Structure 1
Amino acid sequence: MKKGILSLALTAVFGLTATANPIDGEKKEIKTSESTVTWKAYKVTGSHTGTIALKSGALEFDGDKLTGGEFVVDMTTINTTDLEGEYKQKLDGHLNSDDFFSTASNPTSKLVFTNVKSTGKNAYEVTGDLTIKGITKPITFDVSIYGSKATATLKVDRTNYDVKYGSGSFFDNLGDKTIYDEFDLVVDLQM
């Protein structure tokens, strides 16, 4: 009887210890100054490209397997790279305005991974919560990791985040002034 109680007590102690202290994964901070986020937006008459700076970010791993991530983007750094001078200043100002990203009242955007699924060697399908202008919506995209580098391409529907300016989905008779709802983000991360 005493042996049975001792075994039960040891099982309970070691069982609780095992569940109370799960193996923690490794969190790798992103080198924001060496990482890039490039955007490309499309309109009927062409496209525009630019960059935006990461404020902070980290990827989480269990061994060499990606398990999570969280990133904050500094929206006030929206920068058009395909224009110069007055046209660049006008577009940058417009993208910062309430017509687009309202960066004065929403200076950051955030992405938090909610599910990571391995799809092959160094490849993952990630679902995350993307917050722009205080609105959070799920987004799914692919991530590739090679050593200390990670890359991803995201297709974002801006109208999900109340960015409707020039959208043919909300306004009629825009003609060649129509701006397509989706834009691309190409992300190159250094850890």
Structure 2
Amino acid sequence: MSPEELWMMYNPKLKAYIRKKVSDQYEAEDILQEVGLRIQKSASKIQEITNVEAWLYRIAHNLIVDYYRSTRKYELIEDIVEIVEPKATGQENYNKETAECLLKLVEYLPENDQEAILECDYKGTKQNVLAQKWGISKSGSKSRVQRARKRLTAVLHSCCEVKKDHAGNIIEFENKENNGTGFSCLKC
């Protein structure tokens, strides 16, 4: 059976299954699309699978579990001041200063990127809400936010050297001209 035939046969059932588990319509659609991509990637192995339906539901189940794990990973911080330095490492970090700097560096981005960063990362607006506001698809909204984040990172790295510890805390932050200051950004 070809991947296209599998998709046509099981798409409605998988969609219903995913929608029962994921209340956000856009997220459910994204998960369903990912199932389709996994079917395409496994096209050469499909003939070897003894129970194709169970295999498809296992893929969907695993993607749903991944979705719920990733949504619990991040919490919105209402104010930059709330960023606290972790006690576990015992090492000084520059997380708060970097967050303040990034907020200033947003000004160097194009208007669309500024809006994407401020709405999604600073105000905590959900990407499906942004998609509706911008009149684009949910995946288009995700792409816009990801591109904006990459551009913001590029702006940061254009003037500063940033080093992180194993937990992702910023432990060194210096401008590339190395003027000897501990925390310094040319654009801030």
TM category, shorter: under 0.3
Higher RCO (CA-CA < 8 Å; seq separation 6+) = 1
| TM-score with structure 1 setting the length | 0.27
Structure with the larger helix share? 2
